[in-house]
Amino acid sequence: MIKNPELVEKPLGIQQKNIIVTCNYVARSFGIKKCMLVVDGLKLCPGLVLVKGEDLQPYRHMSKNIFSLLQTFKCPVEKLGMDENFIDVTSLVKNEGGDGVVGHLFDEYDVNECDCGCEKRLSAASRIAQRIRQALKDELNITTCAGIAHNKLLAKLIGSTHKPNQQTTIYPASGCYFLSQLDSVQSIPGIGVKTAETLNSLGLVTVLDLQNCDINLLNNTFSADVALKLKRLSLGIDNSEVKMSSKPLSLGLEDSFKIISVESEVKEKLETLLTRLLVLLENDGRKPTGIKVTLRRQMQPKPVTHRETRHCSVSPSLFQFKDGSLVVVESSRRKLMSMIMKLFYKLVDLSKPFHITLLGLAFTKFQEMITGKGSIANYFMNDLSVQSILNLQSDTDSSVTSMDCSGLTDTTLSEKSESETEPSPKKVRFTGIRRHLRQSSPSPSPSKLRVADLHLNACDAVSLLRLSPKEMDSDSSKSVSPEWSGVPNDIDLEVFNALPSSLQQDLRSSWKRNVPNGSSFCDIPVNNDKGNTITRYFIPNKR
């Protein structure tokens, strides 16, 4: 619709192969659902406009723009798929002026004031959310929904209750009751088809069932930590952090088709995939150290989701940097292709007939960057008894996908109710059970030690960063060098370049703001109260 505004008022579906993967709200009013077959969709709505969506590039692009815009708010942003993000705005809430919740408030007639002041903070977060959504509209012309809560679980779920282009806030005290309304355990993020089946087999169908069940029942079937996690999720308790997203850990493509049974066609497919993937890789700019081939066989006794993979390492020397960008010369390309075929031979015995319906290719294990799991960058972030999490999603899609595809029940969160002009509140249905649930409402956990309180001063941070780059490819520093302006002299370029681009931007912009004359790194004025930028942790600790 953004690309072609004429489509805004028309029923529009995005087509991949013979499936409608998503659609706009006009189409939904005809009963079009995600994952619906094109033929079925056209039966429901003969005027349905279909646009091919197999090329994900435009979506990646928009997704990146959204992510970048969110990062300008100087808070941890975690990408969830291509059209959703969590943002932990705890650090902004403290300085937020004003008053009152913007948008919908869940359960608004029954607010018990909490000692910790969480309602105030969350209402501040709702105003921040409003500004963020306005910025997304102004800058990128995209409408969004937001859910505002003290943890990711509730933020995500509550954000789906008023759509499209609306936002909803929920207070911690309402979390348990809100969850108890959900008809299927599968509505809980993290519980998918398999876990839901297992739970159902234990007699646990609704979230209420899960809330009320004995933990030992779960312990019989799940490991102790999974059992506990499921139980806690059902009650609205979730202390997982908003993990700052960096570049992807793997970069892959796959293609499905009717059937391939001869080697030459396999090779053709893989050549095509490699060509496309190399474009993505050059775009990404990092050197991979591994490659993976994926295939799916026809008529497996296993479900169609079943895939087999083979992996091997690749020499980084196959990839070179020219003028700051990654290139793969023809000879390297041929070597890659022969490795890919070898992996394929590991998967398929050519002396026997084979029938393949999907082939995939992925680069993995990119050369060491400073960030990532267990890296020091993670310790730079605030920890989280997070008081204010926003879940933002673009309006072209809806979450709670599980329900659309499950075909089980007509849930209260169905697409139908969302397309009504005035969404009817669902709480009426449940007033009967709320009182006895209220007592088990979790109270927000007390603040944990913020990792910022580790006394990591500037010198420590710099020396830490400077220790590592031994195994780093020196080429990699050149890759970013063209953008090289406004970085203080005493910064190790190699280390700086190895940081994810988001952090680089973050650092650059703070240098620009704080030291317009480009003075020394350690002279940056302290601006501790504001923002959540990594720069703060490079600054000598006043205490």
Catalytic residues: 84
- Judged by CB under 7 A, which stretch of 15-23, 44-52, 142-150, 175-183 contacts DNA? 15-23
**How would you classify residue 32: left for phi > 0, otherwise alpha for psi between -120 and 50, otherwise beta?**
beta
CB 454 within 8 A of CB 381: no
Distance of CA 314 to the CA centre of its chain: 28
Token readout for 463 is 């020396």
Is 157:395 a contact under the CB 8 Å cutoff?
A: no
Q: Is 225 in the site for DNA (CB under 7 A)?
A: yes
Torsion angles phi and psi, residue 439, rounded to 5: -65, -25
Residue 232 binding DNA, by CB under 7 A: no
Of positions 209, 254, 263, 492, contacts DNA by CB under 7 A? 254
Nearest residue (CB) to DNA, 205 versus 461? 205
Q: How far is the CB of 340 from DNA (least distance, A)?
A: 13
Q: Which residue, 281 or 539, has its beta carbon nearer to DNA?
A: 281
x-or-dash pattern for DNA, window 502-541, by CB under 7 A? ----------------------------------------
Q: Site for DNA (CB under 7 A): which residue of 360, 444, 469, 531?
A: 360
Q: Which is nearer to DNA, 255 or 265 (CB)?
A: 255
Q: Where are the beta strands (DSSP E) in 387-520?
A: 389-394
- Of residues 138-157, those binding DNA (CB under 7 A): 156
Residue 535 carries which side chain, given as an amino acid letter?
T
In angstroms, the CA 399 to CA 393 distance is 8
Size of residue set near DNA by CB under 7 A: 66
Using CA of residue 228, residue 233, residue 239, residue 240, what is the dihedral sign? positive
Neighbouring CB atoms inside 10 A of 532's CB total 21
Based on CB atoms, which residue is closest to DNA, 347 or 522?
A: 347
The CA distance from 364 to 309, in Å, is 13
Spatial neighbors of 184 by CB under 8 A, at least 6 apart, are 196, 205, 206, 207, 402, 403, 406, 408, 409, 411
* Touching DNA, residues 290-319 (CB under 7 A): 290, 292, 302-311, 313
As measured in angstroms, the least distance from the Cβ of 158 to DNA is 13
Q: Three-state secondary structure along 235-290?
A: CCCCCCCCCCCCCCCEEEEEEEEEEECCHHHHHHHHHHHHHHHHHHHHHHCCCEEE
For residues 510 and 419, give the distance between their C-alpha atoms in angstroms, rounded to a whole number: 43
Binding mask 385-424 for DNA (x = CB under 7 A): --------x---x-xxxx--xxx-----------------
Q: Whose CA is closest to 395, among 131, 83, 82, 158?
A: 83
Phi, psi of 174 (to 5 degrees): -90, -5
Stretch that binds DNA, among 11-19, 64-72, 478-486, 509-517 (CB under 7 A): 11-19
Tokens of 70: 């969110």
User: Toward DNA, which CB reaches closer, 166 or 535?
Assistant: 166
Q: Which is nearer to DNA, 225 or 529 (CB)?
A: 225
> Shortest distance, CB of residue 98 to DNA, whole angstroms?
30
Burial of 332: CB neighbours in 10 Å, binned 0-12, 13-18, 19+: middle
Q: What is the C-alpha separation between 50 and 213, in angstroms, rounded?
A: 46
Q: Site mask, DNA, residues 441-470, x = CB under 7 A?
A: ------------------------------
Residue 130 or 406 having the CB closest to DNA: 406
- Joined tokens for residue 454: 């580790």
Q: Are 112 and 118 in contact (CB under 8 A)?
A: no
Per CB under 7 A, 202 contacts DNA: no
358 binds DNA (CB under 7 A): yes
Half-sphere exposure of 530 (CA within 13 A, CB side): 9
- 66-125 residues near DNA, rule: CB under 7 A: 80-84
Helices (H), 326-457: 330-347, 376-379, 401-406, 415-419, 434-438
Among 75, 129, 145, 191, interactor with DNA by CB under 7 A: 191
Is the Cβ of residue 309 or residue 440 nearer to DNA in the bound state? 309
Q: Which stretch binds DNA (CB under 7 A): 18-26, 108-116, 326-334, 513-521?
A: 18-26
Shortest Cβ 54–DNA spacing (Å): 5
Q: Is 252 in the site for DNA (CB under 7 A)?
A: yes
Using CA atoms, how far apart are residues 395 and 392, in angstroms rounded to an integer? 9
475 contacts DNA (rule: CB under 7 A) = no
Q: Compute the half-sphere exposure of residue 56: CA atoms within 13 Å on the CB side of its CA.
A: 14
Find the binder of DNA among 56, 215, 454, 459 (CB under 7 A): 56
Cα separation, 530 vs 92, in Å, equals: 7
Q: Is 501 in the site for DNA (CB under 7 A)?
A: no
Which of residues 52, 194, 435, 543 is near DNA by CB under 7 A? 194
Residue of the chain from 4, 8, 9, 17 that contacts DNA (CB under 7 A): 17
**DSSP alpha helices (H): ranges in 88-235?**
90-93, 118-140, 152-159, 175-180, 193-201, 207-212, 215-221, 224-234
Site residues for DNA, 367-386, by CB under 7 A, read: 373
- In 452-492, where does DSSP find H-type helix? 458-467, 475-480
Cα dihedral 237, 238, 239, 241 in deg (nearest 10)? -160
For residue 271, state whether it binds DNA (rule: CB under 7 A): no
Place of tokens 């312990």: 219
Residue selected from 47, 58, 117, 190 as contacting DNA according to rule CB under 7 A: 190
The answer to whether residue 35 forms part of the interface with DNA (CB under 7 A) is yes
Asked if 188 is part of the footprint of DNA (rule: CB under 7 A), the reply reads: yes
Identify the residue among 2, 7, 10, 16 touching DNA (CB under 7 A). 16
* Nearer CB in complex with DNA: 118/208: 208
Note whether 283 binds DNA by CB under 7 A. Answer: no
The residues that touch DNA, with contacts defined as CB under 7 A, are: 16-19, 21, 35, 54, 56, 80-84, 156, 186, 188-197, 223, 225-226, 243, 248-256, 290, 292, 302-311, 313, 346, 357-358, 360, 362, 373, 393, 397, 399-402, 405-407
